[in-house]
Amino acid sequence: MAIIKPFKGLRPKTDLAAQVAARPYDVLSSAEAKQEAAGNPHSYYHVSKSEIDLPDIIDTHSPQVYEKAAENLRQLIKDGTLFQDNEPCYYIYRLIMNGRSQTGLVCVSSVTDYNAGIIKKHEFTRPDKELDRINHIKTTEAQTGNVFLAYTDVPEVNAIIDQWQEHHAPVYDFTAEDGIQHSIWVINTPAAVRDITTLFAEKVPATYIADGHHRAASASLVQKEYQEAGKIKSTDDPVNYFLTTIFPASQLAIMDYNRVVKDLNGLSDAAFLSNLDYEFNVEEIGHQPQQPSTLHEFTMYLGGKWYRLVAEEGTFTTDPIGILDVTILSNNILDKLLGIKDQRTDKRIDFVGGIRGLKELVKRVDSGEMKVAFALYPVTIQQLFDIADSGNVMPPKSTWFEPKLRDGLITHLI
Q: Could you report the per-residue pLDDT of 190-211, keeping only the tens digit for each?
A: 999 999 999 999 999 999 999 8
Question: What pLDDT digit, counting tens, does each position of 108-161 carry?
Answer: 999 999 999 999 998 888 888 999 999 999 999 999 999 999 999 999 999 999
Q: Among 256, 209, 184, which Cα is nearest to 406's?
A: 184
Q: Where are the domains of the chain?
A: 4-253+403-413, 257-377
Phi, psi angle pair for 368, to nearest 5°: 90, -10
172 or 127, greater pLDDT: 172
Distance CA 37, CA 177 (A): 13
Question: What is the average pLDDT across 312-318?
Answer: 84
Strand 90-97 relative to strand 82-84, pairing: unpaired
Mean pLDDT on 271-299: 94
Burial 379-403 (b: 16+ CB within 10 A, else e): bbbebbbbbbeeeebbbbbbbbbbb
- HSE-up (13 A, CA, CB side) for residue 262: 9
Question: For residue 315, is pLDDT > 90?
Answer: no
Please count the residues of the chain: 414
Task: Report the pLDDT value the prediction gives residue 27, as an integer from 0 to 100.
Answer: 85
The Cα–Cα gap between 10 and 13 comes to: 10
Q: Give which of 412, 404, 413, 414 is closest to 22, Cα–Cα.
A: 404
Q: Is the pLDDT of residue 285 over 90?
A: yes
Distance CA 249, CA 189 (A): 26
**369 three-class SS:** coil
Tell me, what's the pLDDT at 112? 96
Predicted local confidence at residue 86, as pLDDT: 96
**What does the pLDDT look like over 11-68, one tens digit per residue?**
999 999 999 999 999 888 999 999 999 999 999 999 999 999 999 999 999 999 999 9
Residue 396 pLDDT exceeds 80: no
319-343 pLDDT, tens digit per residue, is: 888 888 999 999 999 999 999 998 8
pLDDT of residue 144: 96
What's this model's pTM, rounded to 2 decimal places?
0.86
Q: What CATH number does domain 257-377 carry, 1.20.1440, 1.10.3470, 3.30.70, 3.30.1760?
A: 3.30.1760
